[in-house]
Each structure stands twice: as structure tokens, then as C-alpha cells.
Chains A and B, each alone.
Chain A
Amino acid sequence: MQFGIFTVGDVTPDPTTGREPTEHERIKAMVTIALKAEEVGLDVFATGEHHNPPFVPSSPTTMLGWIAARTERLILSTSTTLITTNDPVKIAEDYAMLQHLADGRVDLMMGRGNTGPVYPWFGQDIRQGIPLAIENYALLHRLWREDVVDWEGRFRTPLQGFTSTPRPLDGVPPFVWHGSIRSPEIAEQAAYYGDGFFANNIFWPKEHFQKLIRLYRQRYAHYGHGTPEQAVVGLGGQVFMRRNSQDAVREFRPYFDNAPVYGHGPSLEEFTRETPLTVGSPQEVIEKTLTFRDSFGDYQRQLFLLDHAGLPLKTVLEQLDLLGEEVLPVLREEFAKNRPASVPEGPTHAARVAARDAAPAADGTAAAATPQEVTS
């Protein structure tokens, strides 16, 4: 089980002071937060990708490369990489390069993006969102697994005799998650490839995500990657903590009330009742997070959103201290209890290399083979 943080990268004024950080301050804050994540014992840092204000992370591999050079253990990931509007060839190249520089500590999460104008800005049509996600990933998947690719599709210039360089580290591509909050097509896509499925469940009631994840697990098994329980699931979460629960609520309320996504809507109390948001003591965060396993089954990765809505860097770093000192050790212990041995751990490069090397000896077939590779 891996624990980490994911960031949107918004530049939002602090509602309690009115002060808005500069882009430079926000970018530096994001990487400071990433370094702190490793320091407090977290496993993963994931950054969003956006191409419009008030968001700064338009160039994820630049940022993650900087972080990679200053960390030892942290897995660098995305939340999400825009599979619709990025050229899959450039994704293949950029993330393979990052994978080498980070010695394998890289995976990424595919997403379609939720900002309409980004599609035309990058020469695409939002009405083709799902087909773009499907075709572009199909190409990316091949570029990382076949040394020479001939390819023709609907959305991109054909490729003849193309080799994406550098080749993935140790011949094992970065692990891929597919993120979606409502599309069964994406759950199906993740299941087909045997990739991970990340449900950013932070805004909606759990019943919706239970159905989405159940579908992914069923289809993962359908495609022969393992049992439904062995499917690779990641979940979002959102917390604000102080040692004293009332202090947390009092301090976070102005940030909640003015938050860009859900501000000026339901009350903090209603929102914490209906969604995974927890505002309270570390103990309350532990209790709420543990309910995720009851709702969704044993899973592989839990990412928390901590640095948004204008929260000052100092506060976010304090949140990370609390997370690392008080929450993480208990969550690791509790999530390990009664976890069947057959349920996989969170994906790492080392484990994927080992699995690849072990597979031919076991049954004589390639471990990484997907139905697509078998049939095409």
C-alpha cells in the first residue's frame, strides 16, 4: 500500500489575508512540498497538468525531474497527464527520460482534462475526448513496448519506422494509472491493459465510485489479469488536520468556504458527511481513511490533496508533519492487517522488473503481454 499526495497546482489567494502567491512562489512551494513528502515518509508525489491560469504546472516532467534529482525514494507521478491533448509520442519520450533520471521512480496517471478550451488550443476537439484517450494511449502503449513502430490512426500523423527514445528503463515501461470520475469507458480501458485505475473520489459520494471501481475490478478479471481483488486501485482523499479537531475546523473553514472547486456551496459539515473530506484530528483522518477499504476493497495507492484553496506553504508543511508522524504509521499498520497475500502491493519499478524476469520461467509467456499484444 502506497501513500502520497497529489496537487492541482492552483494559484489561489489566501482568503484569510487576501494575499496571492506569485507563480514563482507557488512553483517553489510545490517542489518544497514534494521534498517534504519524502522527508515525512510518504511514497508518492503527483502533480496535475494544466494549461491555463490560475494553474502553474504546465510542464510536469520538468518539475518532476527537478524533484527526482533531490529525492531518493519518492515515486513521482501525475494527476493527471493529458492523454487527449498531448502528443503520445512526446509523452513516451518525456516520461521515459524521466524514468531513467529518476532510476525508475516514475509512474503516471492518464486523464482527459476538464478544461474545454485546452482541446482547441492543442488542436483537438473535446467531443472526441474518449476516442482521443483510447487511440493516443494505444499508441503510447506500443511506443514503450515495441522498438520500431509503424502506426496509423485517426488523430495523429502516421508513423513509419519510428523508435521512441530513450527506451524504457530496463525495458519496463512506467506503470500507468487511468484516472476517471465517471466514464465506464476509461474503467474498461484500464482493465483491458491490466493498468491501474485511479478514482479521484474527493468530490462525490462513495456510492458512485463503488460502482465505477466494481466495474473496473470485474473487467480486470474478465481480461485475465487476475482476480477482481487483484486489480490495481488508487483513491483520492482530502484532509485538514490539527491535533484538536475544533482547531482544524475553525482554521480550515474560510479556505473551504472560498475554495475554487466547491466553495460557496454546501457547508463544511455537509461536505465532510457526503465526501471523503476530513477536517479534524489525525485520529479522525485515520478513521475516515480506513473506511475506504470497507467501501472499495483492499487497494494499492492512497493520495491526499493538501495544498489547495490558498493554504499557506507553512500550513501545508505542518499538515505533512502530522500526516507523517501521526497518520501514516497507523494507516500502514491497519491497512496491512487482514490484507490477503494475493492482493498486490502498490506498483514499483523494481517489482515490475522482477515480475517480468520471473514470468517466462513460470509459464513460458511474457508477463507484460496484454490481450492487444497477443492479438495484434
Chain B
Amino acid sequence: MTRDRTQAVTQEAARPLTLAVVSAGLSTPSSTRLLADRLAEATRQRLADGGQGPVEVRVVELRDLATDIAHNLVTGFPGAELRAAVETVTGADALIAVTPVFAASYSGLFKSFFDILEPEALAGKPVLAAATGGTARHSLVLDHALRPLFGYLRALTVPTAVFAAPEDWGGTGDAFTGSLPGRVDRAAGELAALLAGRPATGGPSAAGPVAAGGAPGETGETGGTVRAADAGPSDPYDEASVVPFAQQLAALRP
């Protein structure tokens, strides 16, 4: 235990940036996943261009977790696999979230995943939102559905959100609209700029160095540590974050 901890702490300096990618596409192959991959690659490239990196990209395919997510809604707790996915997302330095448009909004699966996160879990985290749809007429879903969702979660959404309609995959843009690669690159640049300004050892709301995960299994293969979902910078069950009872009582004095 002590050895693992020491090892993790000494490797902290070399910890790569982590980029979580949530894709809610349902088909295989999926254009939603395709867009997610383009966004992740563009972000990695932008960071590399700026001398940042390496970047560790961790993809969460919600389709594989669909049953677990439904179970969590029913039972109130995540199973082991879903728990790992939640930790991947909440522990990452930034998030790319991509959903298909269903019935004029994000898909129910996409929303359900964010429903099971703690309300504070994404606070301050840079997020790039993107969506795919059967027609470009759905593109305001980004502004009418995804931005309010991430606004509620107090995430830091980058200015450019990317929508990919079918014609985008074969189009070159026009006088009024950038091409899909152009918009992907712009959004990735914005996300990379947010990431570039932060220390490699801290998540968005980290008050200090990230606590090294105690279990060896929590150490990523590159040696970086993954923050446990509820053992983050302000673990409410850590003695250090308890509001002393006298203070709780005093706050109620009439």
C-alpha cells in the first residue's frame, strides 16, 4: 500500500492529461463514435502542437453500459463496470461528450448517464459537446439541450459545439459554414487551450495534488492515477472535509 502510494506520487509529475470521451451512438459502426474520435484526435493534435502532452484518451461507449445505467436508475448505485466508467469521466482533465439526436434532443441513454453522476462531479471541467443527426435542421440541439445540461452541471463548455449531419461527412462547407474538419479543429483548439492552462497534476477543481489511488488497480497503465469518483479533491467522507458539528449547530442559532 505504502509502496504503491509512493510510486504513484513520484509518477505524478509525468502524469499525462486525460481526456474522457463519452459516445452515446447505438449502431456499429456509429457516426457518433466517428465524430467523437475525430474530436479526440484533433484535441490530441492541438495539444501536441502546443507542446502539451502526452494525452491519454479514454472512451466510454454508453451502448455497452446501457443495462448498467438502467440498473443504476433503479437501485441508486452503479455496478462495477459503470462505476469505472463514471470514474473515468469524473477523473479526467476534460470531457468530449457526443450524442445522436433523438426526438429533438440528446438520446435518453446519453441523458441517463449524466443523470447518475453526482451533481458536482463535472463542475469546472472543460467539456466539448457534440451531436450527430439525420439532418442539419437538428443542429440547435447543441444549444437548446446540451449546453443547458452542462450548464446545470457547471461544466466549462467550450464556445464551439460541433454538429455533424450526414452531408457533413462528404461536404466542404460553404461561405457561411465551416467544413466539419474545420469546426472539429476549432472546437479542439478551444478545448486544448483550456487544458493548456492547467497543471498536469490537477483536475478542474483540484485544491492540491491529486490523492493517489490506494489500490494498485487504480493506477493507469501509463502510471497516471485515476481519481476515484467519490474520492476526488473534496471527498465528503474524508475526515478533513467534515464540517465540525459545533459549526453545523452554530449555523442554526436563531
Contact = CB atoms under 8 A, between A and B. Distances in A.
Task: Please determine whether chains A and B interact with each other in the same assembly.
Answer: yes
B242 to A, nearest CB: 5
A270 B242 contact: no
Interface string B64-83: 00000011001111011000
Given A153-B254, A215-B237, A192 B245 contact: yes
Contact of B77 (A191, A208, A214): A208
A222 B239 CA distance: 10
B238 to A, nearest CB: 8
Contact of A212 (B70, B77, B79, B237): B237
B248 A134 contact: yes
Nearest to B74: A265
Interface residues of B, number: 25
A219 B243 CA distance: 11
Interface string A255-268: 00000001111100
B79 A215 contact: no
Contact of A203 (B76, B243, B254): B76
Nearest to A270: B79
Nearest to B248: A134
Nearest to B244: A188
Contacts of A185: 243, 248
Given A153-B252, A265-B71, A204 B237 contact: no
Nearest to B235: A211
B249 interface: yes
B75 A266 contact: yes
B77 A204 contact: yes
A124 interface: no
Given A131-B252, A154-B252, A265-B71, A274 B242 contact: no
B76 A184 contact: no
Contacts of A134: 245, 248-249, 252
A372 B248 CA distance: 12
B216 to A, nearest CB: 16
B236 interface: yes
A189 B243 CA distance: 10
- For chain A, give the interface size range: 35 or more
B74 A188 contact: no
Contacts of B254: 152-154
A189 B237 CA distance: 14
B75 A135 contact: no
Nearest to B231: A211
Interface in A178-224: 184-185, 188-189, 191-192, 203-205, 208, 211-212, 214-215, 218-219, 222
A188 B252 contact: no
A219 B71 CA distance: 34
A215 B242 contact: yes
A138 interface: yes
A152 B79 CA distance: 46
A152, A222, A265 — most chain B CB neighbours (10 Å): A265
Contact of A188 (B70, B71, B80, B243): B243
A200 B54 CA distance: 44
Nearest to A215: B237
Contacts of A214: 237
A152 B242 CA distance: 26
A184 B77 contact: no
B226 to A, nearest CB: 15
Interface string B150-166: 00000000000000000
Given A185-B243, A188-B242, A192-B245, A211 B237 contact: yes
Contacts of B248: 130, 134, 185, 188-189
Contacts of B74: 262-266
A270 B70 CA distance: 14
B77, B241, B246 — most chain A CB neighbours (10 Å): B77
A131 B251 CA distance: 9
A270 B77 CA distance: 12
A189 B75 contact: no
Contacts of B230: 208, 211
Contacts of B237: 184, 211-212, 214-215
A130 B252 CA distance: 11
Nearest to B228: A207
Contacts of A372: 246, 249
A219 B242 contact: yes
Top-8 shortest CB links A-B: A265-B74, A192-B245, A211-B237, A266-B71, A204-B77, A265-B71, A184-B236, A218-B239
16 contacts: A130-B248, A135-B249, A153-B254, A154-B252, A185-B243, A188-B244, A191-B245, A192-B245, A203-B75, A211-B230, A215-B238, A219-B242, A262-B75, A265-B75, A266-B71, A372-B249
Given A184-B236, A271-B75, 4 more contacts: A134-B245, A203-B77, A219-B239, A265-B71
Interface of A: 130-131, 134-135, 138, 152-154, 184-185, 188-189, 191-192, 203-205, 208, 211-212, 214-215, 218-219, 222, 262-266, 270-271, 274, 371-372, 375
